[in-house]
Amino acid sequence: KKLVEENFDVILEDNTRMPLDLVASRIWDTIDASERGGECHLRYYGWLGSLPNIQWVFNVHSNRQMVRTDNDNDDTEIFNFPVPADFDDKVAVEKEGEEESNIISSEDNNNEDAANISSAAHTTPGGSAIWGAYAYWVSKDGYNTLIERLRNDVGAIVWKGKRMRNYLIKPIDKALPRTVAAAFSREHIHLTKNPAFFRAPMLTSKIHSKWDPDF
């Protein structure tokens, strides 16, 4: 709410690192390229994923889904948010469903992030290509759409497996891009090939230290 009302450029979560001599220019270059590429409602300045998925995103998807700007001299490349249907291999596409099944059937997972990361230990790209809403920007329309959905649909914010005793809160990593993509299409979600921020799992989180081992 503060970001959209006071026109900030980025929401930055804890446990992140940045190249101090490059971070400001990378933020502005990403904003400029994104705005030149059309209407954007969710912008990532950094993101995570399994090793096979990160390699696929950089080497394949980012080239296929490159956002064309009106400036051929743009050095900063941005691309559209990846979805399971973007994967070539049908088996890889089906991993999205497998991830959800693994999460639901697991009694030992304490949060969906941990389950997602555990199930992402694969060698073939597939499933949730990226996650990690730790450095991003959302438009006012995108924010209002998310808030409206969460207020009107309790299932959009909580989930419960068949053998789980309690409901758990869905992470923003899942809720935000899915809501924006459903309302505006994934072409309105931009990612940069030159991240300004990086998650630092080797350092202790100041907020969620109990989850550090899972990362």
Burial code (b: 16+ CB inside 10 Å, e: under 16) for 95-116 equals bbeebbebbeebeebebbbbbb
Q: Tokens in use for 156?
A: 């959009």
**Looking at 111-187, which runs of residues are DSSP E strands?**
135-138, 158-159, 168-169
Q: What per-residue confidence (pLDDT) applies to 174?
A: 84
Residue 24 CA from chain centroid, whole number: 21
Q: How far apart are the C-alpha atoms of 10 and 134, rounded to whole Å?
A: 10
Q: How far apart are the C-alpha atoms of 84 and 95, rounded to whole Å?
A: 8
Q: Tokens in use for 215?
A: 């990362």
- Sheet containing 189-192, strands listed edge to edge, beginning at the edge strand earlier in sequence: 11-12, 135-138, 42-44, 189-192, 78-80
Q: What per-residue confidence (pLDDT) applies to 105?
A: 39
Q: What per-residue confidence (pLDDT) applies to 60?
A: 92
Q: How far apart are the C-alpha atoms of 113 and 132, rounded to whole Å?
A: 9
| Average pLDDT of adjacent 10-residue blocks, the chain of 215 residues | 93 88 94 92 92 91 85 74 80 47 39 43 81 92 93 79 81 88 94 90 63 56
**Cβ atoms < 10 Å from Cβ of 2:** 8
Q: How many CA atoms lie within 13 A of 41 on its CB side?
A: 20
Q: What per-residue confidence (pLDDT) applies to 120?
A: 42
Q: What per-residue confidence (pLDDT) applies to 119?
A: 44
Q: What per-residue confidence (pLDDT) applies to 128?
A: 85
Residue with tokens 């390699």: 55
φ/ψ (deg, to 5) at 58: -70, -45
Q: Tokens in use for 10?
A: 């980025």
208: exposed, middle or buried (Cβ count in 10 Å: 0-12, 13-18, 19+): middle
Q: How far apart are the C-alpha atoms of 92 and 89, rounded to whole Å?
A: 5
